[in-house]
Chains A and B, each alone.
Chain A
């Protein structure tokens, strides 16, 4: 099988690899770069578990070939976390509002939500539901995902406010409500 060279920026790092021309972007990310936070949940581009951000837009990485991403600037869920494990606002929102259960759809949900907030920093519930229409979750029923995105909209720096309840809980429970 012939191979093609592909070069693109992934999470801020320029990566160059030889891939089979038919390699899906998601398989390139998972198998070649070993960025396994991006998941595969269907073969028909319905589920969105593979969502990444390519040149600013949320893209289902199972629907394009790796070679089509050449020269692109791509972010996966691994690229959202800042130095010192600083969670992005959306990641923190999903934690604070219990926006995940099994966690399999979560990376895609977080990436789609991140792209939404970049475009519309203060979305309504309805706008959030429509923006996430292409991402399927089987665990949550979506209400807490909506709340997670709203949390991120209301806390764009991702910092959890001090809560009066904190002292009754463990340090990891910053922001938890009793």
Chain B
């Protein structure tokens, strides 16, 4: 019986709710020693000298390394602009590791870090896009001759479409730099012994890390093992090759001891790569009916101090998705990547796509404002219709698979009384003591299921498929091994749900194993909303193949034609003759016995490995509405309603899908109202702890109201599009549109995130 669509409780939970989970910091092999860092206090400086003598003299300290100790080690990232494992001669951002220490205990390792004396000579600083691009700006990497790493100019800037007589709207948008803040910071344990290297890491792509580590050290992959045990959240920030992993391995090799590193939160805020950090110049032309005619977007992506391959890809994804769910006849895109004296920038939930949905959903509201057309109506006038798929956009990356944008909007409007709210909004504006009301929409679209062949290879991955191996055990239970590496998504549950229906094996007799390169036959990893759409499809196909083979064996036992054998009641039966049946356990047992199977079968045939591919990305979409109240005295913004209609195609488990939406929306609201990594003019970080960087608590977030429509994707047999990142793509524009709407009668056209009470209070203060 199919469990697709059932609210099945998670297999993952029993360990995690009893304290029996196993996260990296819980793992302490015998003889483990502890690694700590001396990190740069300067954002841009020449290192004059490093004195490690006092640290080395501390009893219990086993090693103190600086760049001089690892002179032959390769850099990470882009050739020529690579990041050294430890800053060499120059530091380029606050927090950059300058020295690494290993000691017998973690307290000692922290003590020793305090004893290292680094003498810096400050250099001029470029801690922002603006300061990095001015004439005469200090250069981070002189080899570039500027701070621009790469620039993709406009093919045609559409100047003819933005002539003096056209109706246009334009915005300069700053998409705020955010930190992923998984509650588990980065951690690893490296154990390099005579038999090989084992690295436990809190990471989203174990095989990717294994392959990279093995290549880095020039050691064979077969004796290099990466284990990602329970992973305490990732959100895209745990797929980057940061120096910590490589140093832990190198130090373990040197000391012949397991070396453990557990990041503090303050280190995490500085060392774990940030996300977003874009500036955008956006312009649209439209006609008097509000139809969009042309869109021009120039993205400037802050890469931080060292460009990361994923970071370099962010504006590619943004510019591919700028048209959103609208039919825009002409789209022009351009982007440039800029280095600054800040923490490097790479993927954070949504990675490039929230930046796209934000700009198009903001500017369509501006067009609504300029034309006086209702924001819902103007969206409807521009939607791609549901019969126009597949829909080719300006970008070869974005050929939309399916969608029903108008249907999502219709569903959204059933969740609350829009007309009544508008009347109440107008009334409140006339009543100076009452709070202002704002209503904000977002008809968002994203790109998921990374990806078709060739797509992830561009980011250095081995492939874009995902691996699934199903091994039926002799008792008729089954183990699924997968290269997916979940960290909260519930993949162990969803894969078992998919397999249970196809295999006819009970959900409780299916285990899912992941996160170990020694047991899983290759893998890519969990990112880019890919696992259900690709891995889940792999589970379905592998299950079908297992059943096909099992039917051969069942037919042999039942002395029937394989074509007449059907899956039924926990076993196999001859179609139309239910009395002639054999249970799964018997088929499974005999599948390993050469004398019990057809002569053309091999023992152990119920073991199927699939490298599942998909022909295209999928494009989840939806319609969100946020309603806010604003206190005119304090500028306080309160979300009073968050209405969410998602369309991720087929839903495997509604409970888990809701969880993904809630979490993504929470991070989207956070970006809109609370979070923003900031630096002062010297490049000193102002948000290096959770005291200063506000990730929302239960009191900051509203109750969500959900609706759903289901437009399956044609790209896989499940029809599932992916939902991991949707909320973070859809929520920010809905929230900001709501706040702008609340203040629109005061002439407010745009607000930069995070929209704070202080910002709003300053606007309201001017009115009084």
Contact = CB atoms under 8 A, between A and B. Distances in A.
Interface in A48-85: 49, 76-78, 80-81, 85
B156 interface: no
B487 interface: yes
A171 B107 CA distance: 47
A94 B663 contact: no
Interface stretch (B11-19, B244-252, B302-310, B584-592): B11-19
B10 A95 contact: yes
Q: Determine which residue in B9, B106, B665, B667 has the highest number of CB atoms from chain A within 10 A of its CB, and name it.
A: B9
Interface in A94-148: 94-96, 98, 100-107, 110, 125, 128-130, 132-146
6 contacts: A23-B107, A42-B265, A78-B19, A91-B18, A103-B17, A141-B662
A9 interface: no
A105 B183 contact: yes
Contact of B20 (A37, A104, A169): A37
Contacts of B697: 129, 132-136, 142
A20 B508 CA distance: 46
B77 interface: no
Which among B15, B182, B230 has the highest number of chain A CB atoms within 10 Å?
A: B182
B261 to A, nearest CB: 14
B439 to A, nearest CB: 21
A80 to B, nearest CB: 8
B6 A136 contact: no
Contacts of B232: 39, 41, 102-105
Nearest to B184: A104
Given A169-B3, A173-B8, A102 B17 contact: no
B23 interface: yes
A142 B19 contact: no
B687 to A, nearest CB: 12
Contact of B185 (A27, A41, A98): A41
Contacts of B690: 42, 44, 46-47, 136
Q: Report, nearest first, the 10 A-B pairs whose CB atoms are least far apart.
A: A37-B19, A104-B232, A103-B16, A102-B488, A141-B666, A101-B488, A141-B662, A46-B690, A77-B19, A36-B26
Given A36-B26, A47-B265, A94-B17, A103 B12 contact: yes
Given A41-B265, A42-B690, A47 B19 contact: no
A143 B699 CA distance: 11
A13 interface: no
A31 B658 CA distance: 36
A172 interface: yes
A139 B184 contact: no
B656 interface: yes
Contacts of B666: 140-142
A87 B11 CA distance: 15
B233 A138 contact: yes
A168 interface: yes
Interface of A: 20, 22-23, 27, 30-31, 35-44, 46-47, 49, 76-78, 80-81, 85, 87, 91, 94-96, 98, 100-107, 110, 125, 128-130, 132-146, 168-173, 175-178
Interface in B224-245: 230-233, 235
A37 B703 CA distance: 29
Interface of A is mostly: loop
A135 B111 CA distance: 29
B689 A95 contact: no
Contacts of B1: 168
B183 A37 contact: no
A77 B26 CA distance: 15
Interface string B182-219: 11110000000000000000000000000000000000
Given A104-B232, A175-B9, 7 more contacts: A41-B185, A46-B691, A77-B18, A85-B18, A98-B655, A105-B232, A172-B9
Contacts of A169: 3, 6, 8, 507
Contacts of B14: 85, 95
A128 B265 CA distance: 26
Contact of A130 (B655, B665, B695, B699): B699
Interface string B251-287: 0000000000010111000000000000000000000
Contacts of A107: 19
A141 B183 CA distance: 13
A40 B7 contact: no
Contacts of B727: 141
Interface in B438-497: 487-490
Contacts of A110: 17
Contacts of A104: 21, 23, 182-184, 230, 232-233
Contacts of B23: 36, 39, 104
B164 interface: no
A148 to B, nearest CB: 10
B64 to A, nearest CB: 20
Given A42-B265, A104-B182, A139 B107 contact: no
Nearest to B666: A141
B183 A41 contact: yes
Contact of A20 (B26, B107, B184): B107
Contacts of B663: 101, 138-141
Nearest to B487: A102
Contacts of B107: 20, 22-23
Contacts of A171: 508
Contacts of B665: 141
B704 interface: yes
A102 B235 CA distance: 11
Interface in B688-714: 689-691, 695, 697-699, 701, 703-704
A112 to B, nearest CB: 10
B688 to A, nearest CB: 10
Contacts of B655: 98
B695 A142 contact: no
A178 B4 CA distance: 10
Given A37-B21, A101-B663, A104-B183, A43 B8 contact: no
B13 A102 contact: no
B181 interface: yes
Contacts of A125: 703
A10 B31 CA distance: 27
B624 to A, nearest CB: 13
Contacts of B704: 141, 143
Contact of A103 (B11, B488, B698, B701): B488
Interface string B351-377: 000000000000000000000000000
Q: Which of B8, B15, B264 has the most CB of A within 10 A?
A: B8
B506 interface: yes
A100 B698 contact: no
A140 B17 contact: no
A43 B698 contact: no
A138 B655 CA distance: 17
B16 A133 contact: no
Contacts of A146: 698
A176 B689 CA distance: 39
A4 to B, nearest CB: 14
B698 A102 contact: no
Contacts of B183: 39, 41, 47, 49, 102, 104-105, 136-138
Nearest to B667: A138
B659 interface: yes
Contact of A173 (B28, B507, B689): B507
Given A41-B183, A96-B9, A35 B19 contact: yes
Nearest to A35: B19
